[in-house]
Structure 1
């Protein structure tokens, strides 16, 4: 009879109301599993044996859809929140709800005064006002501290290439985001980032063998190209070093030949060939004292020269 009741719409409605429906039970189990991954201590460590926070396992279980109902809830909640802030002025409606609440409280308090010494709101006022326990704040700040450490550790693991595949993916995603931010608004970029974060790990897990093969092929191809480039670079470096040594040897021989022409023995022999009086190496010939032809009348002039007058 109970099975028949469960198969009818009335029985399903009763199960939904009392929380015994299988779908509700599965959703509770998924949320409990995700919460346990948050509260449990993670045994994973970094390459330097530094322990990771428990949020590492939480986000891994969340984005890999280990608990599909809980992940689906967070996924659609994030999408709805982005659309709500995009198409609805949330802050304006918050102020609207606030002033409606205060006006309603004021109206009930004033309207109920004639019927008693105390108003309606005053009569339901709690004696001790609610306060936030210190333990709750300590737990909240503790979780916030672990969450911030999670982001700090994961950023450093990607930055220092602990997993080269994650570093490559991060560089590619940041490069795409750098160009997309020029052409699409922030809310659209946030929507695209959220969809990618919740779908890319699931696609990878469902096609892990094919993707790993492609990644392995790309890695081998890149290594082969790097090795080929290294060999070509070494060949060019060897050729350049041989040419440099040949040029240096040729220049050395020319310098030695030029220095041999100007050796100290040659300079000494050249210095000894110079005259001692440091006179120029070329001398002009002596002027002849005789042999010039006699000019007409010159001899007669000499013969007819008057004798000196004696005073």
Structure 2
């Protein structure tokens, strides 16, 4: 279905087909700024409160889930390109330009200008220019605006809290693995590169990685499937090896325990008769034939060949 609007000039017409706006100029279609407006409108509709997705626990997610998904997947390329360029420019500006210093400079120039315009006409008796344009009532922030602002901030904080819990409790194993590698790489990079460079690298990765994945989804999914199957095969092989080692260790442990038990029992059997015997009779009885010893001699000294071994003492000589 197409709607043909009134021509803006001769030979030029604006045509809207399936929500895409283009300009017909003498038969040629030219993109116009309305396409960018349509992209921003579509991204804004993604961020508006609506029926959102739910987690595995049937808990409803915030509408920012759809917003960031459409933003990082380049569903609306012009709006995403604008936010991507703005983020990169903001990081580089804060890195190479002293933004806070220029904010103070703009502030004092503003106050100096209004003070000069107000004082310059006073010597001539003319009312100051700034006083003449002063509003009757100063502008105030409506309460409804603050309520909407804090409501959006509340939803945004809940988005980060919910997404962190979904990754932490492995609702999607791929997202958890990606978060692991991202944090692991960041842990090492932060030691070698400054924070602004790490933030710049993170922003570029966040805006380009989903687009690369969508453009090469089939090839990446095949590689992920192969890696998953390979990891499962290695886990199964490791489980079988572990079970084999556990069975062997249990068999060896049972054999060792049986052997030790047998040794203890044999040692107890060998030692028990001696113990009982020692407890029954401390001095063993000599029932068998004992060694025979010779009888004690009845005479004082034994004789050899009928003569006494002891000679009589010779009489002492008589001294004349």
Q: TM-score, normalised by structure 1?
A: 0.83
Show the counterpart of 1:11.
none
In the alignment, the residues of structure 2 paired with residue 124 and residue 289 of structure 1 have an alpha-carbon distance, to the nearest angstrom, of: 159
In the alignment, the residues of structure 1 paired with residue 107 and residue 298 of structure 2 have an alpha-carbon distance, to the nearest angstrom, of: 142
Q: TM-score, normalised by structure 2?
A: 0.81
Number of equivalences: 281
In the alignment, the residues of structure 2 paired with residue 118 and residue 289 of structure 1 have an alpha-carbon distance, to the nearest angstrom, of: 165
Show the counterpart of 1:187.
196
Residue of 256, 269, 294 corresponding to 2:265: 256
Show the counterpart of 1:243.
252
In the alignment, the residues of structure 1 paired with residue 280 and residue 122 of structure 2 have an alpha-carbon distance, to the nearest angstrom, of: 138
The alignment partner of 2:41 has SS state of: helix
Preserved CA contact (<8 Å) 1:33 1:67: yes
Preserved CA contact (<8 Å) 1:45 1:52: yes
Preserved CA contact (<8 Å) 2:72 2:210: yes
Q: Which runs of 5+ in 2 are unaligned?
A: 1-6, 15-29, 303-307, 314-320
The 5-angstrom pairing of residues 1-311 of structure 1 reads 2-4=9-11, 22-263=31-272, 267-275=275-283, 288=296, 290=298, 292-293=301-302, 296=310
1:175 CA drift (Å): 0.9
Q: 1:290 to 1:40 in 2, by over 3 A?
A: same
Deviations 1:80-115 (A, max 9, x none): 111111111111111111111111101100112245
The alignment partner of 2:139 has SS state of: coil
Preserved CA contact (<8 Å) 2:74 2:211: yes
The alignment partner of 2:190 has SS state of: helix
The alignment partner of 1:97 has SS state of: helix
Return structure 1 stretches of 4+ with deviation > 6 angstroms.
none
Preserved CA contact (<8 Å) 2:52 2:66: no
Q: 1:114 to 1:269 in 2, by over 3 A?
A: closer
Deviations 1:234-263 (A, max 9, x none): 000000100111111111111111111123
The alignment partner of 1:49 has SS state of: coil
Preserved CA contact (<8 Å) 2:64 2:156: yes
1:187 CA drift (Å): 1.3
1:290 CA drift (Å): 4.1
Preserved CA contact (<8 Å) 1:44 1:52: yes
In the alignment, the residues of structure 1 paired with residue 136 and residue 75 of structure 2 have an alpha-carbon distance, to the nearest angstrom, of: 46
In the alignment, the residues of structure 2 paired with residue 26 and residue 97 of structure 1 have an alpha-carbon distance, to the nearest angstrom, of: 35
Q: 1:246 to 1:105 in 2, by over 3 A?
A: same
In the alignment, the residues of structure 1 paired with residue 90 and residue 75 of structure 2 have an alpha-carbon distance, to the nearest angstrom, of: 23
Preserved CA contact (<8 Å) 1:161 1:167: yes
**Highest RCO, 1 vs 2 (Cα 8 Å, sep ≥ 6):** 1
Deviations 1:118-138 (A, max 9, x none): 211011111111111111111
In the alignment, the residues of structure 2 paired with residue 32 and residue 3 of structure 1 have an alpha-carbon distance, to the nearest angstrom, of: 29
In the alignment, the residues of structure 2 paired with residue 105 and residue 274 of structure 1 have an alpha-carbon distance, to the nearest angstrom, of: 124
In the alignment, the residues of structure 2 paired with residue 197 and residue 210 of structure 1 have an alpha-carbon distance, to the nearest angstrom, of: 20
Preserved CA contact (<8 Å) 1:42 1:57: no
